[in-house]
């Protein structure tokens, strides 16, 4: 996976092209609200203002979420014709920001200017879910941005061993401060941003094991402690005291009787219930736009590639391409995951370590989503949504590239052959253009 001079000239072109395509998707959907929670998000946006009391958590369906996404939309509102446009511009800016953050992280670890790195970055950000997330009216675009920014900062801080006198470096201390502020921004946007707090220790352990562990823990604790100090007043007085030391969800007070009944059904046969959640996708995933809502795998896999029917009808050509992705990607993802675990020692250190980090991120998000579905089994609420676990989707392009690295298609060498690299980059470019211009969602 050695970097090539030609890729240093090609990569900026790809970056500009991807940003332009994100802007094109914004232009083509301008003023049309997108998303499961779009009306509810807009209601809270209209009720939320800087330096004024926030709407109570139970006043509106979505007002229990932390307020930062609404306040960010409020900053854009004076410059745009409508609140829908403000929400879409916010999501587009966040997806572009997340792209630039991951690009910076891959450059730092020396992977960006390689065929695997380019496919991971540009293929990942061209997946239909991530295309759609850039124009969603909601909070998941900002959540994804804060997570990827925290990932980038954690890579820059913890990828290399921390020096003994790290606090004497103004640049290093500044990076730790920005990381703490990023953690806080995520937790002020949505509760699932709490997962990002584990990134420093995860990256530090994958890269160095228990060596230098005390410094890693000290620096990570400083960033996490800073973020906790920032968000503690809001969490304490808005959530923990009135809600009894737990993270609230609208289902608790919107549909308490339905939720209690669903939990009784779950508790009557918990093992059967868990196996139901873990059931694999069925043929219905091709024949319908509607997921099997009590199946985690069916719901997530459909949402990654195809528009949920409750969001609107998907054009015929777009559906055909989505179904092609649904059928084609399981093989390279499955075999790439297996081969990563079985032949990881044959991979470069940077690619292997990045893989461990992305795999752990994917597993944590997936397990958290399944646990949430177990606790809130209201399937018509669509508790399994791929947008809730967007960072986990980055494992898909990584596994696909690993699959290619370990086959005769791409030669088992430190880098792709010239023609193989050109072909794979051409396929990735086509994937990027089709999914944005069509668009596939």
**Cα–Cα distance measured from residue 291 to residue 298, given in angstroms and rounded to the nearest whole number:** 6
Residue 437 in any domain: the answer is no
Residue 158 in any domain: the answer is no
**Cα–Cα distance measured from residue 385 to residue 293, given in angstroms and rounded to the nearest whole number:** 9
Are the C-beta atoms of residues 186 and 193 closer than 8 Å to each other?
Answer: yes
**Cα–Cα distance measured from residue 426 to residue 14, given in angstroms and rounded to the nearest whole number:** 11
Are the C-beta atoms of residues 314 and 289 closer than 8 Å to each other?
Answer: yes
Tokens for 34, please give them: 């997108």
Confidence of residue 4 (pLDDT cuts 50, 70, 90): low
Q: State pLDDT tens for residues 164-184.
A: 888 888 999 999 999 999 999
Residue 315 in any domain: the answer is yes
**Cα–Cα distance measured from residue 405 to residue 129, given in angstroms and rounded to the nearest whole number:** 25
Residue 260 in any domain: the answer is yes
Q: What is the pLDDT of residue 412?
A: 35
Number of domains within the chain: 1
**Cα–Cα distance measured from residue 418 to residue 404, given in angstroms and rounded to the nearest whole number:** 14
Residue 85 in any domain: the answer is no
Q: What is the mean pLDDT of residues 143-166?
A: 95
> Can you tell me whether residue 299 is helix, strand or coil?
helix
Average pLDDT over the chain reads: 91
Domain containing 280 equals 251-406
pLDDT surpassing 70 at residue 240: yes
pTM of the model: 0.94
pLDDT surpassing 50 at residue 408: no
> Can you tell me whether residue 115 is helix, strand or coil?
helix
| Helices 349-375 and 330-342, axial angle in degrees (round to 10) | 120
pLDDT surpassing 80 at residue 139: yes
Residue 401 in any domain: the answer is yes
Are the C-beta atoms of residues 18 and 125 closer than 8 Å to each other?
Answer: yes
Residue 33 in any domain: the answer is no
Residue 22 in any domain: the answer is no
Q: What is the pLDDT of residue 55?
A: 94
């Amino acid at each position: 996976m050695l970097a090539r001079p030609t890729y240093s000239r090609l990569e900026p072109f790809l970056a500009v092209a991807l940003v332009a395509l994100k802007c094109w998707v914004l232009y083509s959907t301008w003023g049309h609200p997108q998303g499961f929670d779009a009306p509810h998000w807009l209601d809270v946006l209209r009720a939320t203002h800087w330096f004024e009391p926030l709407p109570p958590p139970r006043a509106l369906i979505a007002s229990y979420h932390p307020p930062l996404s609404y306040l960010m939309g409020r900053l854009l509102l004076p410059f745009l014709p409508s609140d829908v446009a403000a929400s879409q511009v916010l999501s587009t800016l966040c997806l572009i920001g997340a792209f630039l953050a991951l690009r910076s992280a891959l450059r730092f670890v020396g992977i960006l200017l390689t065929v695997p790195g380019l496919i991971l970055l540009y293929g990942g950000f061209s997946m239909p879910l991530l295309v759609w997330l850039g124009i969603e009216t909601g909070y998941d675009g900002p959540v994804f941005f804060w997570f990827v920014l925290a990932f980038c900062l954690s890579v820059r801080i913890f990828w290399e061993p921390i020096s003994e006198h790290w606090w004497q470096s103004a640049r290093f201390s500044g990076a730790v401060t920005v990381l703490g502020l990023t953690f806080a921004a995520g937790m002020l946007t949505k509760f699932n941003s709490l997962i990002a707090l584990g990134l420093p220790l995860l990256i530090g352990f994958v890269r160095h094991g228990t060596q230098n562990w005390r410094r890693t823990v000290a620096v990570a604790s400083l960033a996490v402690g800073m973020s906790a100090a920032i968000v503690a007043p809001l969490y304490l007085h808005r959530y923990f005291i009135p809600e009894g030391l737990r993270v609230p969800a609208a289902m608790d007070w919107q549909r308490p009787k339905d939720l209690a009944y669903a939990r009784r059904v779950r508790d009557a046969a918990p093992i059967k219930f868990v196996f139901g959640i873990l059931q694999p996708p069925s043929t219905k995933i091709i024949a319908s736009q509607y997921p099997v809502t009590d199946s985690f795998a069916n719901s997530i896999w459909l949402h990654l590639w195809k528009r949920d029917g409750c969001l609107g009808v998907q054009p015929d050509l777009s559906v055909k391409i989505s179904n092609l992705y649904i059928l084609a990607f399981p093989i390279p993802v499955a075999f790439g995951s297996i081969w990563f675990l079985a032949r990881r020692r044959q991979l470069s250190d940077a690619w292997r370590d990045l893989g461990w980090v992305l795999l752990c991120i994917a597993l944590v998000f997936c397990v958290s989503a399944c646990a949430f579905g177990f606790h809130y089994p209201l399937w018509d609420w669509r508790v399994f949504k791929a947008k809730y676990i967007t960072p986990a989707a980055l494992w898909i392009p990584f596994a696909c590239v690993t699959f290619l690295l370990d086959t005769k298609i791409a030669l088992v060498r430190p880098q792709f052959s010239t023609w193989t690299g050109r072909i794979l980059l051409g396929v990735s470019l086509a994937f990027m253009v089709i999914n944005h211009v069509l668009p596939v969602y």
